[in-house]
Amino acid sequence: MGSPREVEREKGKPAEPTEPKDFEEALSSLEGIVKELEEGELSLESSLARYEQGVRLAMYCSRKLEEAEKRIELLQVTESGEPKRDASGALRTTPLDLDDDSVD
């Protein structure tokens, strides 16, 4: 027997929306929904429910990517390519600015 989500799909009922445990799970679920919708074998009601679930997952993935972008920092380096350090010896970083054209 499959997972509870698979059993519900087999009965033609949409799965209850649940918060994914992480980005990878959300993306995998979203890919599965896209595949199901592309196959075209779901009823109209099931298709709409899966589409709505896909939108929620896409929004979740988008939020997680934005959070990750905010956490990314660029390592500051000297002209010779060595990492810059502060007075305590910790590496100096600068928050990533996605609007800055000078970063490649």
Local confidence band at 17 (pLDDT 50, 70, 90 cut-offs): low
Same domain, 57 and 23: yes
Which of 16-20, 47-51, 63-67 holds the top average pLDDT? 47-51
What pTM does this model have?
A: 0.58
Say whether both 92 and 76 belong to one domain.
yes
Calculate the alpha carbon distances from 103 to 3, 23, 69, 77, 96 in Å. Answer: 45, 26, 14, 13, 9
More confident residue, 85 or 7: 85
Same domain (yes/no): 91, 54? no
| AA identity, residue 81 | G
Query: Which CATH number is 40's domain given?
Result: 1.10.287
Regarding whether 25 and 61 lie in a shared domain, the answer is: yes
Is residue 88 predicted with pLDDT exceeding 60?
A: yes
64 is in which domain, residue-wise?
A: 4-69
Specify whether the backbone of 10 is left (phi greater than 0), alpha (psi in -120 to 50) or beta.
Answer: alpha
Q: Return all residues near 74 (Cβ < 8 A) that are at least 6 apart.
A: 93, 94, 95, 96, 103
Tokens of 77: 């380096």
